């Protein structure tokens, strides 16, 4: 009887432990879902893009402008959620659930966030900073809103959607860096790497949303070419970063960031193949593994240069 009692207690403890782990996992998923649905995660990702760019260019961090870029991204992506409801009903049901009956709140928060970002830009004393912070707004208007009857939105034009997002993010980051690093040639060379990475990432999210985009007639690259051809295109684009690394090494550029940039290329190959070969990826895994890449890079850069180099 003693052995049986012990085994029963052990089984009960095991069951309770499983239930506790399940509760933790469910809670963790809710937190992740909230961060992604509220656009806080993608805003943090762009914060990391700007941060990593500054670090790679050996520019001292400027946290107020980094925070301004965070606020602008938070604002634009939340406004975009309101204009993209039809696609999101298919692609991202979690977003629809999140914004349900919250339209007015999201608009208010977005306007406040953008206003604070512009105030930060004005206080920086740099006219270029204000212009840079306004670029995403103009792109978002052209991207989501039909300006006049008969004129298509950018998102309705083949390739234009991905190009608009990648160009907007790249140009904003590069121009912010240029405020403090007056070497246009090095900045443009960095733009090559950054644009290709951001374009690849943008198209990967279109791979995730391909079913919904096809149904509502949005001509993304995966919707038109198919996922297999899109995968080959993205792998080819990622390969264009290899000679960039070679040139950087030859001219002794971005030396402090080269190991991470090489990792970035190999990681890019992995997630292109992973997401294009599987139809069963969790929706938020794209955000975590693709947008989250920039947080990993920034964190690793800071860690290596404070504790290793």
Inform me whether the pLDDT recorded for 197 exceeds 70.
yes
6 located within any domain:
no
For residue 304, count other CB atoms closer than 10 A to its CB. 14
Residue 217 located in a structural domain: yes
Q: Which of 38-52, 223-237, 295-309 has the lowest mean pLDDT?
A: 295-309
Q: Picking from 28-37, 43-52, 161-170, 292-301, which range would have the lowest pLDDT averaged per residue?
A: 28-37
Q: What is the predicted pLDDT for the residue at 280?
A: 63
Q: What local confidence, expressed as pLDDT, does residue 226 receive?
A: 92
Percent of the chain with pLDDT over 70: 88
Average pLDDT, the chain: 87
Distance of CA 284 to the CA centre of its chain: 12
Q: Region 54-62: what's the mean pLDDT?
A: 94
Give the C-alpha distances (Å, rounded to integers) separating 31 from 92, 103, 163.
Answer: 16, 21, 31
Q: Following DSSP, what letter does each residue of 252-267 receive, concatenated?
A: T-STTTHHHHHHHHHH
Per-residue pLDDT for 3 more than 70?
A: no
- Residue-wise pLDDT for 62-118, tens only, equals 999 999 999 999 999 988 887 776 666 666 666 666 677 777 888 899 999 999 999
Opening angle at CA 160, ends 162 and 277, nearest 5: 40
Question: What does the pLDDT read at residue 160?
Answer: 86
Q: Is the pLDDT of residue 308 over 80?
A: no
Residue 21 domain flag: no
* Distance, C-alpha 201 to centroid of its chain: 7
Question: Taking residues 280-288, what's their average pLDDT?
Answer: 75
52: containing domain:
38-308
The predicted model gives 129-148 an average pLDDT of 87
**C-alpha distances in Å from residue 8, one per residue of 1, 4, 13, 16, 17:** 10, 6, 9, 12, 14
User: How far is Cα 244 from Cα 146, in angstroms, rounded to an integer?
Assistant: 38
CA–CA gap between residue 210 and residue 213 (Å, rounded)? 5
Are residues 163 and 199 in contact, defined by beta-carbon separation less than 8 angstroms? yes
Specify the residue for token string 């993205």: 234
Q: What is the pLDDT of residue 17?
A: 75
Question: Total domain count for the chain?
Answer: 1
Average pLDDT over residues 228-255: 97
Q: Residue 52 pLDDT > 70, yes or no? A: yes
pLDDT recorded at residue 2: 55
Quote the pTM value: 0.89
Lowest mean pLDDT among 70-84, 222-236, 242-256: 70-84
Asked, for residue 201, whether it belongs to a domain, the answer is: yes
- What whole-number percentage of the chain has pLDDT above 90? 59
1 is a domain residue = no
Query: Which pLDDT does position 305 carry in this prediction?
Result: 80
d(CA 41, CA 47): 10
Please report which confidence band the pLDDT of residue 1 belongs to, taking 50, 70 and 90 as the band edges: low
Distance of alpha carbon 184 from alpha carbon 202, whole angstroms: 25
Give me the pLDDT at residue 243, please. Answer: 98
Report the pLDDT averaged over residues 226-232: 94
143 alpha-carbon distance from chain centroid: 17
Q: Tell me what pLDDT residue 290 has.
A: 93
Task: Let me know if residue 232 belongs to a domain.
Answer: yes
Residue-level pLDDT at 96: 66
Token look-up 């029963």 returns 8
Give the domain CATH number at 88: 1.10.600
Among the ranges 136-140, 211-215, 280-284, which has the highest mean pLDDT value? 136-140
pLDDT at res. 191: 98
Give domain status of residue 63, yes or no: yes
């Amino acid at each position: 009887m003693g052995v049986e009692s012990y085994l029963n207690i052990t089984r009960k403890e095991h069951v309770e432990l499983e239930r506790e782990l399940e509760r933790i996992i469910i809670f963790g998923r809710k937190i992740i879902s909230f961060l992604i649905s509220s656009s806080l995660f993608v805003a943090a990702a762009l914060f990391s893009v700007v941060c990593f760019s500054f670090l790679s260019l050996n520019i001292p961090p400027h946290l107020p402008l980094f925070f301004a870029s965070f606020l602008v991204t938070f604002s634009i992506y939340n406004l975009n959620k309101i204009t993209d409801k039809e696609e999101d009903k298919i692609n991202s049901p979690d977003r629809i659930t999140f914004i349900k009956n919250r339209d007015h709140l999201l608009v208010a928060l977005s306007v406040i966030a953008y206003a604070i970002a512009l105030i930060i830009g004005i206080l920086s004393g740099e006219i270029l900073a204000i212009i840079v912070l306004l670029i995403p707004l103009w792109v978002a208007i052209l991207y989501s809103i039909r300006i006049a009857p008969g004129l298509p939105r950018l998102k309705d034009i083949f390739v234009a959607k991905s190009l608009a997002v990648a160009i907007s993010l790249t140009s904003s980051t590069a121009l912010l860096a240029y405020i403090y690093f007056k070497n246009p040639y090095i900045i443009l060379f960095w733009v090559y790497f950054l644009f290709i990475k951001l374009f690849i990432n943008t198209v990967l999210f279109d791979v995730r949303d391909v079913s919904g985009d096809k149904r509502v007639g949005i001509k993304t690259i995966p919707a038109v070419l198919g996922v297999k051809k899109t995968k080959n295109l993205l792998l080819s684009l990622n390969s264009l970063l290899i000679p960039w690394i070679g040139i950087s090494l030859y001219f002794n550029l971005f030396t402090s960031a080269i190991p991470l940039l090489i990792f970035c290329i190999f990681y890019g190959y992995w997630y292109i193949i992973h997401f294009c070969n599987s139809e069963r990826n969790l929706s938020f895994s794209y955000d975590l593994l693709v947008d989250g890449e920039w947080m990993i890079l920034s964190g690793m850069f800071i860690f290596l240069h404070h504790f290793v180099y």
